Structure 1
Amino acid sequence: MKTSMKTKLRRTAAALTAALALCALGTTTATASGPARAHAAAPARIMESPKPDCADNGNVNPCYEYQTWFWTFDNCNQYAYSHPYDRNRYDRHVCAVFSGGANVGLWFHKVRG
């Protein structure tokens, strides 16, 4: 039986998501007692993928435009602050969970363009 590349990719993504979820469960308590970090932590309320998503609403402003994903909120925020974006097009960034909580996505809030 021949398996398509799309099917292989879906299975791989599902396996990685499951593995990450298990790893996250195992490391949550281990990192909770670690030393305080100097950089931004996850927000008090974990934000789900922001709405409206530009890809879902016909790119009508204002909307949130997905950029990329990270393993942690810290990595997402560090990237957003160290890589300037077009302030004429976007007014802020948002780091929020997606993929069922396995990853953190970076969205820019698009107001023009």
Structure 2
Amino acid sequence: MKRTFPATVAALATIGALATVSVGATPSAAAAPSATSLRPAAAVQLRESPTPDCADNGNVNPCYEYQTWFWTFDNCNQYAYSHPYDRNRYDRHVCAVFSGGATVGLWFHKVRG
């Protein structure tokens, strides 16, 4: 029995060391930024039309005012960033899934006007 006990302890120590090495590698791999974490926040929000929609709530602020649609989130965000909108009327834009996921809609969040 004296021989079995040291062998068991050695085997458990080896398994523990291997588990520590593999567990230690996992967090660093998980901490690496993914492609989705590098996108702007507006592009990540995969949702149907934001609410409340200005057209549906009698244009009561704050609400989301639909502008147009695009084929991709990148096109939607590029358009919104390259075409300045009235900052006195809107405070941000949202690109979201539109028409059941076939396209991407652009909405401006209307706060005044």
- Same-fold call, TM cutoff 0.5: yes
Q: Would the aligned equivalents of 1:40 and 1:77 in 2 still touch at CA under 8 Å?
A: no
* Contact 1:62-1:111 at 8 Å conserved across structures: yes
Tell me the alpha carbon deviations over residues 44-84 of structure 1, each in whole angstroms, 9 at most, x when there is no partner: x4122100000000000000000000000000000000000
> In the alignment, what sits opposite 1:105?
105
Match of 1:77 in 2: 77
Residue 88 of structure 1 corresponds to 88
Matched letter for residue 84 of structure 1: P
Matching of residues 49-88 of structure 1 within 5 Å: 49-88=49-88
In structure 1, C-alpha distance between the alignment counterparts of 2:61 and 2:46, rounded to whole Å: 24
Corresponding position of 2:3? none
Task: Give the aligned length.
Answer: 75
Larger Cα-atom Rg: 2
Query: Secondary structure of the equivalent of 1:74?
Result: helix
Q: Deviations over 1:14-65 (max 9, x none)?
A: xxxxxxxxxxxxxxxxxxxxxx7xx94741x412210000000000000000
Q: Which residue of 1 aligns with 2:9?
A: none
The answer as to whether partners of 2:48 and 2:100 remain within 8 angstroms in 1 is no
Q: Structure 2: any 5+ residue segments left out of the alignment?
A: 1-34
TM-score (norm 2): 0.62
**Higher helix fraction: Structure 1 or Structure 2?**
2
Q: What letter is aligned with 1:86?
A: D
TM-score by length of 1: 0.62
**Structure 2 residue identity aligned to 1:93:** H
**Overall identity of the aligned pairs, in %:** 88
